[in-house]
Amino acid sequence: MAARRTAGKGTGFTAEQRELLATARDAAGRAYAPYSGFRVGAAVLAADGRVFTGCNVENASYGLTLCAERAALARAVAEGAGEIAGVAVACPDAAPGPDGRLPEGAAAPCGACRQWLAELAPRAWVVTTSFLVPRSVGDLLPVCFDSPGV
Ligand SMILES: [Zn+2]
Protein backbone atom coordinates (compact mmCIF):
# COMPACT_ATOMS: atom_id res chain seq x y z
CA MET A 1 0.00 0.00 0.00
CA ALA A 2 2.91 2.35 0.53
CA ALA A 3 3.34 2.83 -3.20
CA ARG A 4 -0.32 3.76 -3.56
CA ARG A 5 0.01 6.42 -0.88
CA THR A 6 2.35 8.30 -3.15
CA ALA A 7 0.21 8.59 -6.25
CA GLY A 8 2.14 10.28 -8.96
CA LYS A 9 4.77 7.58 -9.16
CA GLY A 10 4.15 5.42 -12.17
CA THR A 11 0.96 7.23 -13.09
CA GLY A 12 0.18 9.58 -15.92
CA PHE A 13 2.80 12.10 -14.82
CA THR A 14 5.80 13.07 -16.89
CA ALA A 15 9.33 12.91 -15.51
CA GLU A 16 9.26 16.69 -15.11
CA GLN A 17 6.04 16.49 -13.13
CA ARG A 18 7.37 13.71 -10.90
CA GLU A 19 10.50 15.75 -10.25
CA LEU A 20 8.47 18.81 -9.29
CA LEU A 21 6.38 16.63 -6.99
CA ALA A 22 9.55 15.39 -5.30
CA THR A 23 10.56 19.01 -4.77
CA ALA A 24 7.15 19.70 -3.24
CA ARG A 25 7.63 16.72 -0.91
CA ASP A 26 10.94 18.18 0.24
CA ALA A 27 9.23 21.52 0.88
CA ALA A 28 6.57 19.77 3.00
CA GLY A 29 9.37 18.78 5.35
CA ARG A 30 9.81 22.45 6.21
CA ALA A 31 6.12 23.06 6.96
CA TYR A 32 5.17 24.88 10.13
CA ALA A 33 2.13 22.84 11.13
CA PRO A 34 2.15 22.47 14.93
CA TYR A 35 -1.65 22.64 15.19
CA SER A 36 -2.89 20.29 12.49
CA GLY A 37 0.18 18.14 12.02
CA PHE A 38 -0.80 18.16 8.33
CA ARG A 39 2.27 19.19 6.40
CA VAL A 40 1.95 20.46 2.85
CA GLY A 41 4.61 21.40 0.35
CA ALA A 42 4.25 23.07 -3.02
CA ALA A 43 6.60 23.70 -5.91
CA VAL A 44 5.94 26.12 -8.73
CA LEU A 45 7.74 25.68 -12.04
CA ALA A 46 8.17 28.90 -13.98
CA ALA A 47 8.27 28.81 -17.76
CA ASP A 48 11.92 29.92 -17.57
CA GLY A 49 12.76 26.77 -15.60
CA ARG A 50 13.07 28.27 -12.16
CA VAL A 51 11.35 26.49 -9.28
CA PHE A 52 9.83 28.19 -6.26
CA THR A 53 8.77 26.28 -3.19
CA GLY A 54 6.40 26.92 -0.34
CA CYS A 55 5.04 25.12 2.68
CA ASN A 56 2.03 25.64 4.86
CA VAL A 57 2.60 28.07 7.69
CA GLU A 58 0.02 27.76 10.45
CA ASN A 59 -0.83 30.26 13.14
CA ALA A 60 -2.41 30.06 16.60
CA SER A 61 -5.15 32.20 15.05
CA TYR A 62 -6.09 29.40 12.66
CA GLY A 63 -7.69 31.57 10.00
CA LEU A 64 -4.35 33.24 9.35
CA THR A 65 -2.78 30.00 8.18
CA LEU A 66 -1.06 30.27 4.81
CA CYS A 67 -1.30 27.36 2.39
CA ALA A 68 1.79 25.95 0.72
CA GLU A 69 0.46 26.72 -2.74
CA ARG A 70 -0.06 30.41 -2.01
CA ALA A 71 3.30 30.62 -0.24
CA ALA A 72 5.01 29.21 -3.34
CA LEU A 73 3.03 31.39 -5.74
CA ALA A 74 3.81 34.53 -3.69
CA ARG A 75 7.47 33.60 -3.76
CA ALA A 76 7.31 33.16 -7.53
CA VAL A 77 5.68 36.55 -7.96
CA ALA A 78 8.21 38.21 -5.65
CA GLU A 79 11.05 36.74 -7.70
CA GLY A 80 9.55 37.89 -11.01
CA ALA A 81 8.69 34.42 -12.26
CA GLY A 82 6.24 35.49 -14.95
CA GLU A 83 4.49 32.61 -16.72
CA ILE A 84 3.92 29.55 -14.53
CA ALA A 85 4.14 26.21 -16.33
CA GLY A 86 3.30 23.79 -13.54
CA VAL A 87 2.47 23.39 -9.88
CA ALA A 88 3.01 20.38 -7.63
CA VAL A 89 1.48 19.82 -4.21
CA ALA A 90 2.55 17.16 -1.74
CA CYS A 91 0.72 16.16 1.43
CA PRO A 92 2.80 13.48 3.13
CA ASP A 93 0.38 13.29 6.08
CA ALA A 94 -2.76 12.68 4.01
CA ALA A 95 -4.48 9.51 5.12
CA PRO A 96 -5.56 6.79 2.73
CA GLY A 97 -9.21 5.83 2.49
CA PRO A 98 -10.68 2.41 3.33
CA ASP A 99 -9.33 1.00 0.07
CA GLY A 100 -5.80 1.95 1.01
CA ARG A 101 -5.58 4.67 -1.63
CA LEU A 102 -5.47 8.39 -1.13
CA PRO A 103 -8.79 9.95 -2.07
CA GLU A 104 -8.17 12.23 -5.05
CA GLY A 105 -9.10 15.26 -2.97
CA ALA A 106 -6.65 14.41 -0.18
CA ALA A 107 -3.93 16.62 -1.62
CA ALA A 108 -6.04 18.85 -3.83
CA PRO A 109 -5.61 22.62 -3.52
CA CYS A 110 -8.27 24.35 -1.43
CA GLY A 111 -10.70 26.80 -2.95
CA ALA A 112 -8.66 29.87 -2.03
CA CYS A 113 -5.57 28.41 -3.66
CA ARG A 114 -7.54 27.53 -6.79
CA GLN A 115 -8.52 31.17 -7.13
CA TRP A 116 -4.86 32.16 -6.80
CA LEU A 117 -3.93 29.57 -9.40
CA ALA A 118 -6.60 30.89 -11.76
CA GLU A 119 -5.11 34.36 -11.54
CA LEU A 120 -1.37 33.66 -11.35
CA ALA A 121 -0.98 30.33 -13.17
CA PRO A 122 -3.99 30.00 -15.48
CA ARG A 123 -2.22 27.79 -18.03
CA ALA A 124 -0.33 25.60 -15.56
CA TRP A 125 -0.74 21.88 -15.10
CA VAL A 126 -1.27 20.78 -11.51
CA VAL A 127 -0.08 17.52 -10.00
CA THR A 128 -0.47 16.37 -6.42
CA THR A 129 0.32 13.32 -4.35
CA SER A 130 -3.33 12.31 -4.63
CA PHE A 131 -4.03 13.01 -8.31
CA LEU A 132 -3.68 10.12 -10.72
CA VAL A 133 -3.35 12.39 -13.74
CA PRO A 134 -2.30 16.02 -14.19
CA ARG A 135 -5.13 18.55 -13.98
CA SER A 136 -5.47 21.95 -15.53
CA VAL A 137 -6.37 24.95 -13.43
CA GLY A 138 -9.60 25.11 -15.43
CA ASP A 139 -10.36 21.53 -14.33
CA LEU A 140 -9.93 22.57 -10.72
CA LEU A 141 -11.84 25.84 -10.91
CA PRO A 142 -13.96 25.94 -14.07
CA VAL A 143 -15.67 29.24 -13.27
CA CYS A 144 -13.36 31.41 -11.21
CA PHE A 145 -14.06 34.88 -9.96
CA ASP A 146 -12.88 37.16 -12.75
CA SER A 147 -14.53 40.53 -12.67
CA PRO A 148 -13.19 42.84 -15.40
CA GLY A 149 -14.23 45.90 -13.41
CA VAL A 150 -12.22 45.03 -10.33
ZN1 LIG B 1 -5.03 26.38 0.00
Share of the chain above pLDDT 90, in %: 87
Query: Does residue 37 sit within a domain?
Result: yes
Query: Does residue 43 sit within a domain?
Result: yes
Q: What is the CATH number of the domain that holds 86?
A: 3.40.140.10
Alpha-carbon dihedral 20, 26, 28, 32, rounded to 10 degrees: -140
Query: Does residue 53 sit within a domain?
Result: yes
Per residue in 89-130, pLDDT (tens digit) is 999 999 999 999 999 999 999 999 999 999 999 999 999 999
Q: How many angstroms does the Cα of residue 7 sit away from the middle of ligand 1? A: 20
Q: How many angstroms does the Cα of residue 114 sit away from the middle of ligand 1? A: 7
Q: How many angstroms does the Cα of residue 69 sit away from the middle of ligand 1? A: 6
State the total domains in the chain. 1
What does pTM read for this prediction? 0.91
Catalytic positions, written as ranges: 69
Query: Does residue 92 sit within a domain?
Result: yes
Query: Does residue 147 sit within a domain?
Result: no
pLDDT of 18 strictly over 50: yes
Distance CA(99)–CA(97), nearest Å, equals 5
Distance CA(12)–CA(127), nearest Å, equals 10
Query: Does residue 44 sit within a domain?
Result: yes
Print the domain residue range for 124: 2-140
Query: Does residue 79 sit within a domain?
Result: yes
Distance CA(140)–CA(44), nearest Å, equals 16
Query: Does residue 97 sit within a domain?
Result: yes
Per residue in 26-44, pLDDT (tens digit) is 999 999 999 999 999 999 9
